[in-house]
Amino acid sequence: MTDLADVDWPPPAPIATRRLVLREPERRDRAAIVDLFTSAEVNAYLGGPREPAEFERALPAEPQGRPGLFVVALDGAMIGIVDVKRHDAERPGHVRPGGEEPELGYMFLPRAWGYGYAAEACTAALGWIAEALPGEPVVLCTQTANGRSLRLAAKLGFTEVERFEEWGAEQWFGVWSPAPLHG
Ligand SMILES: CC(C)(COP(=O)(O)OP(=O)(O)OC[C@H]1O[C@@H](n2cnc3c(N)ncnc32)[C@H](O)[C@@H]1OP(=O)(O)O)[C@@H](O)C(=O)NCCC(=O)NCCS
């Protein structure tokens, strides 16, 4: 996937939801970022966890924000990330000629699962995409074995386009479109 290059970034202010804030990465998020990418549970359907020492070494001392990458914070502390990138044209799964659709991804620390935080944060991110990239269909790709992720995708309003094999597993590929403007 490629970074979003064509959006105003960062947003004028962090995005606040009922319980959460979506913001750029900060220095204080480092330990949570390491936990997220080295957790076997979080990465069970994402190619497996990173090796902690090697991941820490490679992680820059200063947080590296980029357009579309939101840290999700609860009471200031990071509990997960929501990531928007462009779906590479040469990968399977497309809903328009040429591909490069904005693609939603999400990873939350296991202690934050089961409270509706991911749904709350992703709903806010979809609202941001609808404003930042008006009219663009948003896609999502997740393993069919990843039950929690599939439930979240359905709750957010994604509908199935197709399934395909990639990275040795069956993938579910869905699309979300902003509600049409009335009037
Ligand atoms: C996928 C993932 C983000 C889903 O997290 P989640 O917490 O299950 O998702 P939601 O935010 O939708 O929360 C749903 C749960 O919160 C519960 N909940 C509790 N309070 C709630 C509230 N106030 N509002 C909504 N739901 C609430 C729901 O009942 C549901 O519980 P259940 O799982 O027992 O059915 C998480 O499992 C994860 O990070 N997985 C690893 C990374 C990954 O695989 N990502 C996919 C890559 S695209």
Show Cβ contacts of residue 16 under 8 Å, excluding neighbours closer than 6 positions.
22
Q: pLDDT confidence of 183, banded at 50, 70, 90?
A: very low
Helix (H) or strand (E) holding 142: strand 138-143
Q: pLDDT confidence of 178, banded at 50, 70, 90?
A: confident
Mean pLDDT for 26-38 is 97
> Is residue 180 scored above 70 in pLDDT?
no
Residue 174's nearest CA partner among 51, 74, 155, 129 is: 155
Positive or negative: CA dihedral 125, 121, 79, 49: negative
* Superfamily (CATH) of domain 15-136: Gcn5-related N-acetyltransferase (GNAT) (3.40.630.30)
The pLDDT tens digits for 79-116 are 999 999 999 999 999 999 999 999 999 999 999 999 99
- Domain residue extents for the chain: 15-136
Distance (angstroms) between ligand 1 centre and the Cα of 93 equals: 24
Q: Which ligand 1 atom minimizes the distance to the CA of 117?
A: 11
Q: Which ligand 1 atom minimizes the distance to the CA of 155?
A: 12
Mean pLDDT for 144-159 is 97
Mean pLDDT for 28-41 is 98
Show Cβ contacts of residue 172 under 8 Å, excluding neighbours closer than 6 positions.
141, 142, 143, 144, 150, 153, 160, 163
- 148 close to 116: Cβ distance less than 8 angstroms: no
| Per-residue pLDDT at 149 | 98
Mean pLDDT for 28-34 is 97
Mutate to test the pocket of ligand 1, among 72, 103, 148, 173 (most ligand atoms within 8 A of CB): 148
Show Cβ contacts of residue 183 under 8 Å, excluding neighbours closer than 6 positions.
none
97 burial via Cβ count (<10 Å: 0-12, 13-18, 19+) = exposed
Mean pLDDT for 168-182 is 85
Round to whole Å and give the CA distance between 163 and 16. Answer: 34
The pTM of the full predicted model, rounded to 2 decimals, is 0.96
| Per-residue pLDDT at 30 | 97
Round to whole Å and give the CA distance between 174 and 74. Answer: 28
The angle that helices 117-132 and 147-156 make with each other, rounded to 10 degrees, is 50
The pLDDT tens digits for 53-84 are 999 999 999 998 999 999 999 999 999 999 99
Mean pLDDT for 30-41 is 98
Q: Which amino acid, one-letter code, is at 29?
A: D
Q: Which ligand 1 atom minimizes the distance to the CA of 80?
A: 39
Q: Which amino acid, one-letter code, is at 78?
A: M
Pocket of ligand 1 from Cβ distances under 6 Å = 42, 45-46, 105-108, 113-119, 142, 146, 148-149, 152, 155
